[in-house]
Amino acid sequence: MTHRIAFQGELGAYSHQACREARPDHEALACRTFEDVIEAVRQSEADLAMLPVENSTYGRVADIHSLLPQSGLHIIDEAFVRVHINLLAVPGTPLGVVTQAMSHTVLLGQCRKFLSEHGIHRVTGADTAGSARHVAEKGDPALAALASELAGEIYGLDVLARHIEDEGNNTTRFLIMSRQADMSRRGAHGMITSFVFQVRNIPAALYKAMGGFATNGVNMTKLESYMVGGSFTATQFYADIEGHPDDPGVKLALDELGYFTDMLEILGTYPRDPRRV
């Protein structure tokens, strides 16, 4: 039986690269939107979802945190993908022939130095893999794409220059989600637990809610807030902590958090990726 993992974007996207690296035994299913990715798993068209949540350069991926609690899915793993940007062109093209490079605006901004040095003008495309596909279809040696090596492989393009990004540490974190939760202890580098909550409408509720993690020695690696339903008063929080819900300290901290919240939902507990820093 073929297992499938769904991602947002076109074949050759960095999300597709994440699927290949994290689940090489799964067939990748390209979806148009994040909602489509979630629905594919909910409808059993795919077994897993690969969803980007944050980037080391650009921060949180918009809308993802608000989608997670409503998805009905559970986080079972995390994956980190180093975003290497490559200049791709139709086969046989010398670098000196390229006058334009197409990609998502974010990637264009990350390669300013290389493009400037080679007199290559930037052309905004819808996304990285779509730009690579467009370059392949057009067949113009003067037009190249900025994308992953995987995109070059898929669309039959040559890699004219590898790893041309200005910054050397651009990394995207992904969450792998499933219809079934996996609360088992696994992995060799400890566990991460992710959850969302809304604090009660009482003075210093957030301060008091967070106190239990400090007093019980639980390390919180992420805490982010976002509005719910467009309201300025209903604020929801997303958090990652080190540890498993059955750990004594984590259990006490979550019990204390529950006292100061109107809603608390554990999204998943999963192995800590060794590429975390």
Q: Is 213 a catalytic residue?
A: no
Architecture of domain 86-161: 3-Layer(aba) Sandwich (3.40)
The closest alpha carbon to 245, from 199, 196, 185, 200, belongs to 185
Domain 4-83+170-178 CATH superfamily: Periplasmic binding protein-like II (3.40.190.10)
191-271 folds as Alpha-Beta Plaits (3.30.70)
Q: What is the pLDDT of residue 64?
A: 85
- Is 269 among the catalytic positions? no
3-state secondary structure of 95: helix
Any idea where the domains of the chain sit in the sequence? 4-83+170-178, 86-161, 191-271
Q: What's the pLDDT at 60?
A: 81
Distance CA 61, CA 33 (A): 13
> DSSP string of 169-196?
--EEEEEEEESS------SSS-EEEEEE
Q: What is the pLDDT of residues 217-270, one digit of tens each?
A: 999 999 988 877 666 666 789 999 999 999 999 999 999 999 999 899 999 999
pLDDT tens digits along 71-124? 999 999 999 999 999 999 999 999 999 999 999 988 899 999 999 999 999 999
pLDDT exceeds cutoff 90 at 180: yes
Which of 34, 114, 128, 172 is an active site residue?
Answer: 172
What is the distance between the alpha carbons of residues 25 and 27, in angstroms, rounded to a whole number? 7
Catalytic residue among 114, 174, 213, 237: 174
State how far the Cα of 92 lies from the Cα of 51, in Å rounded to an integer: 35
Q: What is the mean pLDDT of residues 7-17?
A: 95
Mean pLDDT of all residues belonging to the chain: 93
Q: H or E stretch including 89? A: strand 86-89
pTM for this one? 0.91
How many angstroms separate the CA atoms of 186 and 135, rounded?
A: 43
Hey, do 4-83+170-178 and 86-161 end up sharing a CATH topology, with the first three levels equal?
A: yes
Q: Report which of 26, 33, 25 is spatially closest to residue 7, judged by C-alpha positions.
A: 33
Smallest Cα–Cα separation from 14: which of 150, 201, 209, 184? 150
Q: What pLDDT, on the 0 to 100 scale, is given for residue 230?
A: 61
